Amino acid sequence: MEPHDLPTGVGLGPMTRMSPDAIQAVLDAAANLQVRRSEAAAQAARGELVGGEVVAVGFATIQDWLFTTGKTWQENLSVRPTGSLTQLRASLPTNRALLEAGLRMVSVFDYYGLDAGARLLLANEPIGDYLFGRAPVQMKIIDRRFVLLEGPSIDGSVSLMAMHSAPYMDAAWRYWDAIVASAIPVEDAGISDLDALTKRQRQVIALLASDLGDDAIAASLGVSVRTVRSEIAAILAALGVKSRFAAAMRLARLQEVP
């Protein structure tokens, strides 16, 4: 990653406001949580898990469990080390629905684990509290009662553990507090030269860059196809280009400008 691809206020080095001490605190806390997670995963693999349980096995089952159980949660403090535009396009509408139903949610993404389109989409998401920071270990603290962590491989499939005993919760809170102490709101990262566009238009152009059609963009943003087409026309005019492909290419060039 080149220096000009970094947002002000996130990451390593004098270009940012994230101090070496803050970075080290996150890495230390992440290492401690990872040790706890590894211990629990080993116990679960032996059928001897103490202080929690394996709640789902297999990617599809995990997603179904999260979607179904998530409707009962009141608070979700989430940490994501990676994310693609495709993944966020699928998950953000669900997040909006949960937030509108009353869920309190704060999500921290590792800036360096996101592709450019994902960063742009998050930076212009109108609903929810999203932060960029250092986030090397994935977890969710749910209702301040338990932490969700990656479990062991079971019959070749990934699994999910819900850990509630004090050692795991203490490690999760230490990690969370270290991350939040140095994270910034996603909108503070910014994308140069797109100020003339509205938030929704910046979301549309990020989705255009992934070669989506109007119907898919409308579904991702929860708006009508007519609205999407209107926004695309405004984007083309604002960027001074005549085609969707040219708009996507212009976005790519803007993100490469030092």
Strand partners, 185: 131
Q: Are 231 and 201 in contact (CB under 8 A)?
A: yes
- Please report, rounded to a whole number, the percentage of residues in the chain having pLDDT higher than 90: 43
Domain pair 3-188 / 199-256, same fold: no
pLDDT value at residue 24? 92
What are residue 104's phi and psi, to 5 degrees?
-90, 120
pLDDT value at residue 159? 97
Domain ranges of the chain: 3-188, 199-256
Residue 258 to residue 240: CA distance in whole angstroms: 21
CATH class in words for 3-188: alpha beta
Residue 125 to residue 85: CA distance in whole angstroms: 13
Closest residue by Cα to residue 121 from 206, 183, 213: 206
Residue 233 to residue 228: CA distance in whole angstroms: 9
The identity of residue 143, as a single letter, is: D
pLDDT value at residue 104? 94
pTM, entire model: 0.74
Q: Checking DSSP bridges between strand 104-110 and strand 52-57, what pairing results, if any?
A: unpaired
Q: Tell me: domain 199-256, CATH 3.30.2270.10, correct?
A: no
pLDDT value at residue 251? 66
Q: Phi-psi bin for 80: left (phi > 0), alpha (psi -120 to 50), beta?
A: beta
pLDDT value at residue 221? 84
Question: What residues contact 8, with CB distance under 8 A and at least 6 apart?
Answer: 15, 16, 17, 188, 189, 190
Q: Which residues of the chain have pLDDT under 70?
A: 1-18, 189-196, 209-211, 240, 248-258
Report the chain's C-alpha Rg in angstroms.
20
Chain mean position to CA 57? 22
Burial profile 86-125: b = 16 or more Cβ within 10 angstroms, e = fewer: eebbeebeebbebeeeebebbbbbbbbbbbbbbbbbbbbb
* Pair of tokens at residue 57: 């096995």
